[in-house]
Amino acid sequence: MAAALMRIPTQPRADAPPALAGSFSDFTVNDATPPAPEVEFALDGRRMTLADFRGRVLLVNFWATWCGPCVAEMPSLDRLQGMLGGRDFAVLTISEDRNPAVIEPFFAAHGLKRLGRYHDPGGALSRAFKVRGLPTSVLIDRDGGVIGRIEGPAEWDSPEALALIRFFIGEGSARPQI
């Protein structure tokens, strides 16, 4: 008598990041986590580096006011900061505009209330991250290691994004099934 073969679905490893779907299927996870560049950027004219945020998972988003996909993406980044922002996580929206004076009016016109007004004077940080186009977002772990990146817009408050970020924050048990 022939034995019937049953296909048993594989379960994802508990320590593996969630499957990437939707706009996040383009998110590239690094095999290793190289250190993030320690290049200065500004918040209201005050110089800082990513090391100032050590201990938090960071989503670093490079954008500009003249970039249509960036403009469309910003409200979801604002909502993400509202949902998860705090001592364990922060969204850093880093403007690549030449004139930092355009950032505040842009935030006001678009009702962005939860995001910091960061600026990359001269584009040094985006060059260090080898940004090829806007928007580009880079996820950084608590120790300053680059987890991965996505080039192009994404829905940052979607279930896929929340699952990915919560996994790296360490809220794995709270992540939804994708």
pLDDT in tens, 134-177: 999 999 999 999 999 999 999 999 999 999 999 999 964 333 33
Q: Quote the DSSP letter at residue 81.
A: H
The answer to the question of residue 112 being in a domain is yes
For all residues of the chain together, what is the average pLDDT?
A: 88
CA distance 150 to 139: 9
Q: What pTM value is reported for the model? A: 0.86
The answer to the question of residue 6 being in a domain is no
Closest by Cα among 28, 95, 107, 35 to 67: 95
Is pLDDT of 23 > 50?
yes
What is the average pLDDT across 24-39? 92
Q: What is residue 74's predicted lDDT score, i.e. its pLDDT?
A: 98
Q: Which domain holds residue 56?
A: 22-170
Q: What's the CATH number where 68 sits?
A: 3.40.30.10
The answer to the question of residue 5 being in a domain is no
The answer to the question of residue 3 being in a domain is no
Please tell me the total count of domains within the chain. Answer: 1
**Residue 76 · residue 155 · CB < 8 Å:** yes
